[in-house]
Structure 1
């Protein structure tokens, strides 16, 4: 098959993912009829029947409201396919134009290279359309699931029950309301609600809650939520101790990279919610696999923000089972520590940082139409087995776009140093460029309790070019 034929076939396969049928419109049901007047009936039985009738009428009205809401979500979801097909058609039209322009030279080496370049660009555009559609469908599914939250939690006899999921959803709603005074609605709301939930659901944690700290930032609408997870890939890791044997085993997270993992599936998670203007950081419980004991550490998290919305975060979290406690482990440091920076942009957030070489690190972006987009994935540098903390925590590495981190530094020239001439009358030429002083930001705001979130300071770095020096 020729190069043009291969690209045509690939574009056709991407178009087929969107189907050819017309999505059917769903009509909202009419409102329920009014209940008939209550008969002239008194007594305990009448009171009980009236209470049950009132409850059933309320449930019926709530069910109708949910049906109306679900109809809106379903009809909105139907437009996702239509929009995606329109965009794919635009990509196809662009490719047809490319072929027409390049056809006279298609059989030359230069022409073939141009065809491959143009085709690669069109395939990237088409793949982006499909990814956006998938993200929008995922968001619609989340909204559809949330529609039924107001329905009675007790199902009819014989229906399957999932009380744990219902209770978790209620806990997330309550946690979000305590901070924002309203229930979660958007995808960003639900991300943050899950991070704020002060409960543990994994049986290994034995109900011990996480430690959560928060801080408010200046919102940047449209940038969504940036989710950072630091997790132990293996089943367990060595935890040094005084005595024999010289270590216990602490349970790990036993997983690989996952854009759908919840806040409890990592050792430390940091969520930056640009839509709601908040940073949520949580350290989950640690479990000693040999004794069954569960402890939770307290993360030290601080942040600063620039007026353009960029956020810099310093973090330090230690194993609560560390010999001597968390304090010495953080001070040495033999801990999970580092610096992360996030910069908003029209195409979505960008990230960079300096992190310990263990554990694994993953950062995802959740925005409308683009959920779970990987911004950064970094596996342990030396080893991912049980020796990972001992081998990897003492060392650091840069990840992502480190210029975002250095963009927070103050940069200014040093004052010229007086230099005495070595010979009377001899002049010493001044250097062409003075030395520059670089100072990392020192005004980071420590994150605080959920009950009293501090406001993260907004400050732009000082960047003074040498030309401003007095001559």
Structure 2
């Protein structure tokens, strides 16, 4: 596949996110004219001169209130229609801009003379085109997000017209909220509404999950953190009880370093996952007390018990009306190394189960940059706590915290996604950046082993993750003659 072919494939994916056919404008939603006429009719139904007294006054009050609500509905309808038309204009402009970029790339490519260097000369043209495509998609989505916020505001105002505020009564949901405030989980902040039904079993589920790996129940704060990551249940009703995928590997313990918790999560409510498809995000900022079930990928390094846990949580696709739809979960792929000083290197790769095949296995020139969450990170214990170095994708956001056996905690790293909007997966996943010392942290792992046959240093062996019922274990490392383990 040529560079131009690869560009056209990516361009088509971007173009598909803008849909097909004429974008629907707001006229269909704007019934303000009809409602204004209805409001006028309501006003004409006021009590006449031939009806007076208490009943007439009560009727007049109710009738006036109804007319006022109808008038407010007319105003909201007009605003809704205007916002829908605005979104249609954004979609149309995005399509025109993408068409212009495609024409520019093809025209410039056509001007490149044939010859052995043609393919090389096309690469910067294609890259510029891809950059501009990303800019158009990002800009359009920012505008659509702004329009969406306006539409949600209108929706809130619609709702307020019908929750009984006029007579001072509170909505049933508000009263229910007071009751729900009393239901709290032990280790985490209160779960979102709807998740509390199964939380009564959560503590026992954690005990069972921890016991399956270690043959005993959790007894320390570190144990309970790891037990939460090992819990093979989903408590969010949107996941339809689809369980997470959990893999583990045993490492050499480093007493005193506690547990390192890594969460890779999406701050937004929902993001683009495929042409004309969206997935739910985690709808939260960075949180030192994050729930391991409220991320896309969670990694725990339990230095006290000598275990690394990698957990990929279910993904939920949005339905056309914006509600929860199909649920899938991917299987994270990862390998681990560990040096004598306890430093742990994790090379990981986790794909969105809803992403199209081309995102997971893209053509040239993007073959080495798939749309997957991946990275190569080193966690090095020091006297002050763990240090994180290596490389990772520009998306999603990543948070790293360390909890010590004495109960204290520290924030190790907050690595925000480059694109803080719904285009992040498409625009940023193929790109990487360095964290801390970057790739220089890999050196001890690339020469930390020893070949006794030839007496030369070699890379440390990689160990794949296993299951909770059959955990993998790091192998012992041969040492040079005369060297004893620390």
Instruction: Pick the TM interval, shorter chain.
Output: 0.5 to 0.7
Equivalent residues of 1:311, 1:343 under 8 A apart: yes
1:388 corresponds to: 424
Q: Which residue of 2 aligns with 1:271?
A: 300
CA distance in 2, matches of 1:289, 1:460: 52
Q: Cα offset for 1:442?
A: 6.5
Quote how far apart the aligned CAs of 1:180 are: 0.5
SS in structure 1 at match of 2:353? coil
Contact 2:339 2:448 in 1 (8 A): no
The answer to whether the Cα contact below 8 Å between 1:376 and 1:400 also exists between their aligned partners in 2 is no
- In structure 1, list runs of 5 or more residues that go unmatched: 1-144, 147-161, 241-245, 413-437, 463-471
Counterpart of 2:352 (choices 294, 306, 319) is 319
- 2:418 maps to 1:408: no
How large is the Cα RMSD of the aligned pairs? Answer: 2.8
Deviation at 1:286, TM superposition (A): 0.4
1:255 matches 2:255: no
Structure 2 Cα separation of the partners of residues 394 and 325 of structure 1: 12
Tell me the CA shift for residue 406 of structure 1.
Answer: 3.5
Q: Partners of 1:371 and 1:358 in 2: how far apart?
A: 29
* TM-score under structure 2 length normalisation: 0.52
Aligned to 1:310: 343
Corresponding residue number in structure 1 for 2:469: 451
Instruction: Say whether residues 1:188 and 2:222 are aligned partners.
Output: yes
* Cα distance, 1:320 vs structure 2: 0.3
Following superposition, the deviation at residue 397 of structure 1 comes to 0.4
Structure 2 counterpart SS, 1:234: coil
Deviation, 1:206, is 1.2
1:254: Cα distance to partner? Answer: 1.2
1:357–1:326 CA distance, 2 compared to 1 (3 A): closer
Distance 1:404 1:457, change over 3 A: farther
> How much has 1:322 moved relative to structure 2?
1.5
Superposed displacement of residue 284, structure 1: 0.3
Q: 2:311 aligns with which of 282, 287, 296?
A: 282
Secondary structure of 2:420's aligned partner: coil
Equivalent-residue separation in structure 2 for 1:371 and 1:232 (angstroms): 27
Superposition pairs of residues 153-302 of structure 1, within 5 angstroms: 164-240=198-274, 246-290=275-319, 292-302=325-335
Please tell me whether the aligned partners of residues 342 and 404 of structure 1 are also in contact (alpha carbons under 8 angstroms). Answer: no
CA change 1:460–1:190 in 2 (3 A) is farther
Q: Which residue of the partner structure matches residue 136 of structure 1?
A: none
Residues 355-396 of structure 1: CA distance to partner in whole angstroms, max 9, x if unpaired?
Answer: 000100111001033544110111112x11110011111110
Partner SS for 1:170? helix
Q: For residue 411 of structure 1, report the CA deviation from its aligned partner.
A: 9.2
| 1:203, distance to aligned residue in structure 2 (A) | 1.5
Between the aligned partners of 2:300 and 2:368, the Cα distance in structure 1 is 25
Task: Determine helix, strand or coil for the equivalent of 1:177.
Answer: helix
Residues 305 and 457 of structure 1 are in contact (CA less than 8 Å); yes or no, is this contact kept in structure 2? no
Conserved? CA contact 1:226–1:366, under 8 Å: yes
Distance in 2 (CA, whole Å) between partners of 1:385 and 1:457 is 43
Q: CA 1:325–1:179 in structure 2 vs 1: closer, same or farther (change >3 Å)? A: farther
Aligned to 2:285, the other structure's residue is in SS state coil
Question: In the TM superposition, what whole-angstrom CA distance separates every residue of 1:204-251 from its partner, at most 9, and x where no partner exists?
Answer: 2111000000000011111100011111111111012xxxxx320100
CA–CA distance in structure 2, aligned partners of residues 318 and 212 of structure 1: 14
Q: CA deviation at 1:455?
A: 0.4
Q: How many Å separate the matches in 1 of 2:477 and 2:297?
A: 27
Secondary structure, counterpart of 1:258 in structure 2: coil
1:28-61 deviation line (CA, Å, top 9, x unaligned): xxxxxxxxxxxxxxxxxxxxxxxxxxxxxxxxxx
1:202 and 1:372 map into 2 onto residues whose CA distance is 27
- Secondary structure of residue in 2 paired with 1:449: coil
| Rounded Cα–Cα distance in structure 2 between residues aligned with 1:221 and 1:404 | 22
Partner Cα distance (2:467, 2:358) in 1? 21
State the match for 2:382 in structure 1.
345
The residue number in structure 2 matching 1:369 is: 406
SS in 1 for 2:200: helix
Superposed CA offset, 1:248-286 (max 9, x none): 010011111101011111100000000000000000000
Distance (whole Å) between structure 2 residues aligned to residue 320 and residue 328 of structure 1: 13
Provide closer, same or farther for how the CA distance between residues 331 and 190 of structure 1 changes in structure 2, counting only shifts above 3 A.
Answer: farther
2: CA distance between counterparts of 1:365 and 1:185?
A: 18
